[in-house]
Amino acid sequence: MGRKMIRFKINGVEKIVEVEPNKTLLWLIREELKLKGTKKACERGDCGLCTVLLNGEPVKSCLVLAVEVDGSEILTVEGLARDGELAPIQRSFIEHGALQCGFCTPAFLIVGHWLINKNPNPSREEVVEAMNGILCRCTGYKSIIDAIIDAAKNMRRA
Amino acid sequence: MLPKFEYYSPATLSEALELLERYGEDAKIIAGGTDLLVSMRDRLLKPKNLIDIKKIPDLRQIEYKEGVGITIGAAVTYKDMLEHPIMEKKYRVLCEAVRTIGDIVLRNRATLVGNICNASPAADSAPPLLILDARVRIINKNDGVREVPLERFFIGVKKTILKPTEIVKEVFIPEPPTNYYGKYVKMMRVLSEDLTVVGVAGLAYRDKGELIVRLAFSSVAPTPIRVREVEEVFKKKDMPIDKKIEEAVKISSEKVSPISDVRGSAEYRLNLVKVATTRLLKELVGVV
Amino acid sequence: MEALKYVGKSITRIDALEKVLGIAEYASDIELPGMLHAKLLLSPHAHAKIISINYEKALTVPKVVSVAVGDDFPSRVGLYVNDRNVLAKKKVRWAGEPVAAVVAEDLEAAEEAVELIEVEYEPLPAVLDVREALKPGSPLVHEELGEYAHSPAFNPIPGTNIANRFTLKKGNIVEGFNKSDVIVENEFYMPQVSHVPMETHVCIGHYMADGNIKIWTSAQSPFTVRYILSHSLGIPLHKISIYTPHVGGGFGGKAGINFEPLVVLLSKKAGYRPVRLELTREEHFLAAPLRQGFYAKVKTGVTRDGKIMAEKLFYAFDAGAYADYGVNVARAAGYSCTGPYYVPNIETESLAVYTNHQWGTAFRGFGHFEFLWAIERQMEILASELSMDPVEFRLKNALLPGLTTATGEVLREDAGRIDQCINAVAEELRWGEKPLTKDTKKVRAKGIAALWKAPAMPPNAASAAIIKFNEDGTILLSVGVTEIGQGTVTSLAQIAAEELGVPVEKIKVVPFRHTDLTPYSWQTVASRNLFMEGRAVIRAARDAKEQILEIASQVLRAPKDDLIIRDEKVWVKGRPEWSLHLKDIVAGYVYPNGNTIGGPIIGRGYFVGTRLSYLDPETGQGYPALKWTFGAQGVEIELDLETGEVKVLKLVSAFDVGKAINPMLVVGQIIGGGIQSLSLGVWEQYVYDDKGKMLNPNLTDYKIARAGDIPEEIVPIIIENPQSDGPYGARGVAELSMLSVPAAIANAIFHATGVNINDLPLTYENIWKALNRKR
């Protein structure tokens, strides 16, 4: 199987990696780069826990081949806080207790972060639509939706 | 882990066609990958070569010509499609259906042409495309482009007329009827998102005062189907509209052949066909 | 009485920061040097003899280190009945049972090799229904049941498929029915369902060459894993170490011992190297243990004016291929059998039954989600028979303090108030006000269901706590309860802060469990840990304070009862100028001339339930319950009569938690459990073909609630009637929150349509079918 050299930026850091075609972006992130914040929970695009930002857009990294990210920029949960400052979405999740076991939290943070930056005043329906692709078994979603709406409000105020 | 394969990312359409010609049976096209990679992970498909078409500019075009129609390239994602200003304006029923596919994140990668080529009987984009008279443009290395109505593209469960050395270049949807009203109803097992249990797309418009209705279904036959007999019913003279709707629903329930599977029984699906179609038709005739 | 400073406050959970940063450690994140990867081969048959297993070809795959089959491992494991093979031996008992395991240098090689293993099976008749399994002549899942060692608390019946038979008798059932004016009998059913934790089962086992065993696992009860492994392999406890970091969801599915013995034994076979096993989502659906399925027959006798006189209950749990917790689920359902009502005459038989389904384990609610489905539906049907309002009927029979439970326990004065819970829900739902329906095809209705539960645990279940002071006066709190998302440790830190007079920010709860280091906790289950660990933490704090006062008394030259500890200082009452900083005491006090007294302070405390007892083997009488938590749940629904689609518009839940140590965490449990309950009741089920093969082992077709599925309005109500022996009056709520939503929905459907649906799940199709049957 022909290995390919890929060059990309992840959380602002440039990386050059040689990778086999059958490895997914999720594998690249967790196994090659050892960034464990992004989770593996179904590998079929059902659960959404592998979601990262690829060139600014959320994608399910289990359904992206690593070779496809050559020349791309990736953001994972580890890249949300900058210089020790939490992103507004992270602060909001803490305040609202919008997490329990935490396994789904990185995915919700990534999509939430993307949503409130793209749409500064999302309606509850828009938040739910954006979050429908990510499963949570612990919280019942209400605190997560509240946290995202609140984070958007705080961003508008800032 | 995915099975092993060689990966190609051609920069032009002719390169892609050359690769297809060479590897044909042993190759699969990958665009969004949201169906293909799942099938590969499940070991239902083990192509030795993947040809990625996302870098081909020719396939990423979405072009509208007033009075003619819109062309959506094979690598155009649902997201790109939905963001195109004309789509919501002229092809709303398709947009409505596409927005029920997966979730917003999936739609950043998945493609309309991919949905058609996957040819699931439950393909949500298909019923609206069928009633909008969509046509599929197929190309291979030697023969150039040929155009086929979507209705003739599907030939069975996950089966199309595509040969291994062929690729769908784009989907063409002609200019829709003026002032039509269309809707896609997707019956699911839950409120949030699901594969379709029963899907029905309908549109209606007035042509010189005459009411024209079109209806197509997903998940109730081996392929998505447009029930043309229904269209005849609405053309009948001297039949009250309520009776037309009743007749249309009756014919639809005879033309569909839902199966029982883990998502629903044939009996329940048939009930949904009747209920959803009745409600949809009532809404369509109410608006138009 | 001073106002509480930390207890009762909604402080942010202490692990929130690491979780939002994506740096919280889970077992699935751990990598070890020299680690190997295992992949399982699962049985395609529900019941079959294993004729032969040929793995020659698998061994030829590069990077494959070894292949193991059932015969490689001599001993069985079991929580209460020693019935489970680590890999199937002689026969397979469910479609999905692991038959072989490949160990390789990487996962890809292991996956490739698994496909090359050839197994020859001889299919046997399978028993796929719990009622069939009880019929004489049914295929036996365990022919050798009589040979298995088992805990004396349970009664497996050799020669049958009964893993445990629990019976309970109270009063005189015949007289009870004689005194009844109306007798109603109904059957109820629910299928098996999965926990669907977001993190699947994952563990790493390392059998070391020196005979020590190390395990890293996503598990709720590391001490149970250690104990069962020790018992099964004959290795003393001190040679086994279990490490458990954050768990990505447990819900009971990780409460016991699952794949740890397998990886440990694979490690030995693979040359004493660590072996990692992580189940894919499909493997989790097919090979991990589930919630038992349930069938019930409930016969109730009531007087014309609404008093329950007698109840005859038959509960049968489809425990699947191995008994695991199933025997205790049957027992717990057996002794709680009536629900939160006073019933003077009871006869109960509760069975855990083997079938050729996937094995069942603990699941949040532990038999109560199941039997409350039956009881709460029956209550609605009874009320209807009597033309009584269902809320009034429940209140009339409410099990209030002073009344006797099914096991003969007189409910203590401060046991909690089911009537207040029911009334709170009814009031919030505006019970009595008929909801407005605008559409003739869509009807709106309301439904209520009550609930209760006590921890299902042996009388000697214990918790312990250690409080260690650091030299700067900060504190390490070490407990055995695992962090599975419920956040108990935050509440425990609050309790410690309150007791010690130290700000909660200065208390760190040790963020992992290690059986060598962190103190014992029986298991993280049963909604027991806040209560039990809470009491242990209070005792540990008082123990530490004793030691501190001992030293401070000497230094301050004042008697201990004249000293107080507050705001990180010790001072003489009334004389704040005569004080010492805690940090100057807790590592030993040094006088100006260098003399040192005292030493590093370690406070310790333990807790077991007071006077809990075994139950009489015939009558089930005794004291099993540490504490009872009562609650009620209610819904307003909209029902589409033509499609069966049911939408919950409003979900209300009230629980008498005694004291909300951290109200935000309590609300988190109430809402999370409520949605899980809704999801389980409406959308979830294991669908099998007629050969017992599961047809929906993925998240596309095993549907759990998503953000778009939750009710528009969710109202959590906290009621606080403190329980005097609970920590600051607290009881426990984590399981209670998911017990009765399906019953409330079905009750609402009944009110909307007059149709009784007594089987779960309440899928739109099932509702439509039920409505249609009526027509």
CATH of the domain at A28: 3.10.20.30
Q: What are the φ/ψ torsions at residue C428 (nearest 5 degrees)?
A: -65, -35
Write the DSSP string, chain B: -PPP-EEE--SSHHHHHHHHHHHGGGEEEESS-TTHHHHHHTTS---SEEEE-TT-GGGG-EEEETTTEEEEETT-BHHHHHHSHHHHHH-HHHHHHHTTSS-TTGGGT-BHHHHHHHT-TT-TTHHHHHHTT-EEEEEETTTEEEEEEHHHHEEETTEES--TT-EEEEEEEEPPPTT-EEEEEEE-SSSS----SEEEEEEEEEETTEEEEEEEEESSSSS-EE-HHHHHHHH-SS--HHHHHHHHHHHHHHH-----BTTB-HHHHHHHHHHHHHHHHHHHHHH-
Taking any CB pair shorter than 8 Å as contact, residues of chain A touching chain B are: 1-2, 4, 20-24, 27, 43-45, 48, 51, 57-60, 62-65, 67-68, 111, 129-130, 132-133
C346, C338 in Cβ contact below 8 A?
yes
Sign (positive or negative) of CA dihedral C115, C120, C125, C130? negative
Q: How far, in Å, CA of C117 to CA of C87, rounded? A: 14
Q: Is the pTM of this model over 0.95?
A: yes
Test the C interface: residue of B189, B200, B269, B278 with most C CBs within 10 Å:
B189
What digits encode the pLDDT tens for the residues C118-147?
Answer: 999 999 999 999 999 999 999 999 999 999
Q: C515: Cβ–Cβ under 8 A, 6 or more apart, which residues?
A: C222, C223, C226, C240, C241, C242, C243
C735 is catalytic: yes
Interface contact flag, A137 C249, Cβ < 8 Å: yes
- Residue A152 counted as domain residue: yes
Interface contact flag, C706 A144, Cβ < 8 Å: no
What digits encode the pLDDT tens for the residues C661-691?
Answer: 999 999 999 999 999 999 999 999 999 999 9
- Residue A98 counted as domain residue: yes
A35 and A59 inside one domain:
yes
At which of A15, A47, A78 does a domain end? A78
Chains in contact with chain C (at least 3 beta-carbon pairs closer than 8 A) = A, B
B134 and B104 inside one domain:
yes
Q: How far, in Å, CA of C281 to CA of C298, rounded? A: 37
| Percent above pLDDT 90 for chain C | 98
Q: What is the mean pLDDT of residues C216-225?
A: 98
Residue with tokens 């050969």: C691
Q: How far, in Å, CA of C414 to CA of C726, rounded? A: 10
- The answer to whether residue A18 scores a pLDDT higher than 80 is yes
Q: How far, in Å, CA of B160 to CA of B96, rounded? A: 24
A97 and A72 inside one domain:
no
- The answer to whether residue B83 scores a pLDDT higher than 70 is yes
Going by C-alpha positions, the residue among B139, B280, B120 that lies closest to residue B201 is B280
Quote the pLDDT of residue C1. Answer: 59
- Residue A83 counted as domain residue: no
Which CATH number goes with the domain that contains B34? 3.30.43.10
- Categorize the per-residue pLDDT at C604 as very low, low, confident or very high, splitting at 50, 70 and 90: very high
- Residue A93 counted as domain residue: yes
Closest approach of A62 to chain B, Cα-based (Å): 9
B162 and B188 inside one domain:
no
Interface contact flag, B262 C108, Cβ < 8 Å: no
Test the C interface: residue of B191, B194, B282 with most C CBs within 10 Å:
B191
Please report, in angstroms and rounded to a whole number, the separation of the first and last CA atoms in chain C.
64
Find chain C residues with C-beta within 8 A of B186's C-beta.
none
- Residue B20 counted as domain residue: yes
Quote the pLDDT of residue A1. Answer: 77
Geometric angle at alpha carbon C751, from C750 and C757, rounded to 5°: 5
At which of B174, B195, B219 does a domain end? B174
Q: Which residue of chain B comes nearest to C106, CA vs CA?
A: B1
- Between A32-46, B210-224, C356-370, C430-444, the lowest mean confidence (pLDDT) is in C430-444
A71 and A15 inside one domain:
yes
- Categorize the per-residue pLDDT at C435 as very low, low, confident or very high, splitting at 50, 70 and 90: confident
E strands present in chain A: 4-10, 13-19, 51-54, 57-60, 73-75
What digits encode the pLDDT tens for the residues B130-165?
Answer: 999 999 999 999 998 999 999 999 999 999 999 999
At which of B174, B204, B219 does a domain end? B174
- Residue B211 counted as domain residue: yes
Q: How far, in Å, CA of B104 to CA of A140, rounded? A: 20
Give the total number of structural domains in chain A: 2
B137 and B191 inside one domain:
no
3-state secondary structure of B228: helix
Find chain A residues with C-beta within 8 A of B19's C-beta.
none
Q: How far, in Å, CA of B108 to CA of B129, rounded? A: 20
What digits encode the pLDDT tens for the residues C488-507?
Answer: 999 999 999 999 999 999 99
Q: How far is CA C774 from CA B12, C445, C750, C764, in A?
A: 63, 18, 12, 16
A23 and A54 inside one domain:
yes
What digits encode the pLDDT tens for the residues A70-111?
Answer: 999 999 999 999 998 999 999 999 999 999 999 999 999 999
Interface contact flag, C703 B189, Cβ < 8 Å: yes
B261 and B200 inside one domain:
yes
Average pLDDT, chain C: 97
| Percent above pLDDT 70 for chain B | 100
A131, A141 in Cβ contact below 8 A?
yes
Quote the pLDDT of residue C438. Answer: 79
A118 and A152 inside one domain:
yes
Find chain A residues with C-beta within 8 A of C699's C-beta.
42, 44, 46-47, 135
Quote the pLDDT of residue C343. Answer: 98
- The answer to whether residue C156 scores a pLDDT higher than 80 is yes
A93 and A131 inside one domain:
yes
B198 and B164 inside one domain:
no
A48 and A73 inside one domain:
yes
Taking CB atoms and an 8 Å cut-off, how many pairs form between chains B and C?
45
Q: How far, in Å, CA of B22 to CA of C441, rounded? A: 58
Q: How far, in Å, CA of B8 to CA of B23, rounded? A: 11
Going by C-alpha positions, the residue among C315, C205, C325, C326 that lies closest to residue C269 is C205
- Categorize the per-residue pLDDT at C436 as very low, low, confident or very high, splitting at 50, 70 and 90: confident
Q: What is the mean pLDDT of residues B188-199?
A: 97
The first and second tokens of residue C405, run together, are: 């439970």
A29 and A60 inside one domain:
yes
What digits encode the pLDDT tens for the residues C523-535?
Answer: 999 999 999 999 9
Rounded-to-10 torsion of CA C660, C661, C663, C666? -70
- Residue A16 counted as domain residue: yes
B149 and B81 inside one domain:
yes
Find chain C residues with C-beta within 8 A of B193's C-beta.
706, 708
Q: How far, in Å, CA of C544 to CA of C585, rounded? A: 11
Test the A interface: residue of B19, B48, B96, B104 with most A CBs within 10 Å:
B104
B61 and B163 inside one domain:
yes
Closest approach of B90 to chain C, Cα-based (Å): 28
B124 and B201 inside one domain:
no
A142 and A98 inside one domain:
yes
| Percent above pLDDT 70 for chain C | 100
Q: Which residue of chain C comes nearest to B268, CA vs CA?
A: C765
3-state secondary structure of C207: strand
Q: How far, in Å, CA of B32 to CA of C308, rounded? A: 62
Q: What are the φ/ψ torsions at residue C93 (nearest 5 degrees)?
A: -115, -5
A68 and A124 inside one domain:
no
Q: Which residue of chain A comes nearest to B37, CA vs CA?
A: A63
Quote the pLDDT of residue C775. Answer: 64
Quote the pLDDT of residue A158. Answer: 67
Q: Does B26 touch chain A (CB under 8 A)?
A: no
What digits encode the pLDDT tens for the residues C6-55?
Answer: 999 999 999 999 999 999 999 999 999 999 999 999 999 999 999 999 99
Write the DSSP string, C416-433: --HHHHHHHHHHHTTTTS
- The answer to whether residue C538 scores a pLDDT higher than 90 is yes
What digits encode the pLDDT tens for the residues C543-599?
Answer: 999 999 999 999 999 999 999 999 999 999 999 999 999 999 999 999 999 999 999
At which of A31, A57, A78 does a domain end? A78
Which CATH number goes with the domain that contains B133? 3.30.465.10
B62 and B153 inside one domain:
yes
Residue with tokens 């038999």: C367
A103 and A74 inside one domain:
no
Active-site residue identified among C385, C636, C735, C765: C735
Quote the pLDDT of residue C256. Answer: 97
Closest approach of C146 to chain A, Cα-based (Å): 39
- The answer to whether residue A2 scores a pLDDT higher than 90 is no
- The answer to whether residue C333 scores a pLDDT higher than 90 is yes
What digits encode the pLDDT tens for the residues C51-81?
Answer: 999 999 999 999 999 999 999 998 899 999 9
Q: What are the φ/ψ torsions at residue C655 (nearest 5 degrees)?
A: -135, 140
Find chain B residues with C-beta within 8 A of A45's C-beta.
34, 38, 102, 106
Question: What 8-state DSSP symbol labels residue B54?
Answer: T
Q: What are the φ/ψ torsions at residue A132 (nearest 5 degrees)?
A: -60, -25
A57 and A15 inside one domain:
yes
C84, C144 in Cβ contact below 8 A?
no
Strand pairing of C646-656 and C629-640? antiparallel
- Residue B33 counted as domain residue: yes
- Residue A59 counted as domain residue: yes
Task: Please give the helix or strand (H or E) that residue C598 lies within, else none.
Answer: strand C596-600
- Residue A37 counted as domain residue: yes
Q: Does C246 touch chain A (CB under 8 A)?
A: yes
Provide the residue range defining the domain that includes A123. Answer: 88-157
- Residue B1 counted as domain residue: no
Geometric angle at alpha carbon A117, from A111 and A123, rounded to 5°: 75
Q: What is the mean pLDDT of residues B21-43?
A: 96
B169, B137 in Cβ contact below 8 A?
yes
B250 and B166 inside one domain:
no
Residue C367 CB neighbour total at 10 angstroms: 30
- The answer to whether residue A157 scores a pLDDT higher than 80 is no
Residue with tokens 């024209």: B212
Q: How far, in Å, CA of B252 to CA of B244, rounded? A: 12
Question: What 8-state DSSP symbol labels residue C404?
Answer: B
Residue with tokens 């409520």: C674
Test the B interface: residue of A68, A118, A134 with most B CBs within 10 Å:
A68
Residue C171 CB neighbour total at 10 angstroms: 17
Interface contact flag, C709 B187, Cβ < 8 Å: no
The first and second tokens of residue A90, run together, are: 């992270």
Quote the pLDDT of residue B61. Answer: 97
Q: Which residue of chain A comes nearest to C284, CA vs CA?
A: A42
| Whole-angstrom Cα Rg for chain C | 27
Average pLDDT, chain B: 97
- Categorize the per-residue pLDDT at C437 as very low, low, confident or very high, splitting at 50, 70 and 90: confident
Interface contact flag, B7 A65, Cβ < 8 Å: yes
Find chain C residues with C-beta within 8 A of B268's C-beta.
765, 768-769
Candidates C23, C280, C485; nearest CB to A138: C485
**Which amino acid type is present at position C765?**
E
Give the total number of structural domains in chain B: 3
Quote the pLDDT of residue C330. Answer: 98
Provide the residue range defining the domain that includes B36. Answer: 6-52
3-state secondary structure of C140: coil
At which of A78, A100, A134 does a domain end? A78
B6, B19 in Cβ contact below 8 A?
no
Which CATH number goes with the domain that contains B204? 3.30.390.50
Q: What is the mean pLDDT of residues C104-109?
A: 97
B43 and B62 inside one domain:
no
Q: What is the mean pLDDT of residues C263-270?
A: 97
- Categorize the per-residue pLDDT at B95 as very low, low, confident or very high, splitting at 50, 70 and 90: very high
Quote the pLDDT of residue B22. Answer: 95
Cβ burial of B122 (10 Å; 0-12, 13-18, 19+) is buried
Q: How far, in Å, CA of B253 to CA of B270, rounded? A: 6
Q: Find how far residue B224's CA is from the centre of its chain.
A: 8
- Residue B129 counted as domain residue: yes
Find chain B residues with C-beta within 8 A of A132's C-beta.
103-104, 192-193
